[in-house]
């Protein structure tokens, strides 16, 4: 059984997010989508858990 190699570009970790289409309206784009997504990923890796408010 072969194991595929996974290569990670450590020079620019935002590269995988650059190709995503930003669904936000132009007026709500204060920060670039790749930066927002990277912050969310780092938050999860740091052990933070997101909770949705119960209604």
Q: Give me the tens of pLDDT residue by residue for the chain, a chain 55 residues long.
A: 566 666 666 667 778 788 889 999 888 789 998 888 888 888 888 888 777 777 6
Q: Vertex 14, ends 28 and 37: CA angle to 5°?
A: 45
At 55 the pLDDT is 61
pLDDT on residue 21? 92
Question: CA–CA separation, 6 vs 17, rounded Å?
Answer: 16
């Amino acid at each position: 059984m072969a194991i595929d190699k996974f290569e990670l570009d450590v020079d620019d970790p935002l590269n995988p997010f650059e190709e995503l289409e930003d669904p936000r309206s132009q007026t709500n784009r204060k920060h670039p989508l790749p930066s927002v997504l990277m912050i969310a990923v780092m938050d999860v890796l740091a052990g933070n858990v997101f909770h949705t408010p119960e209604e």
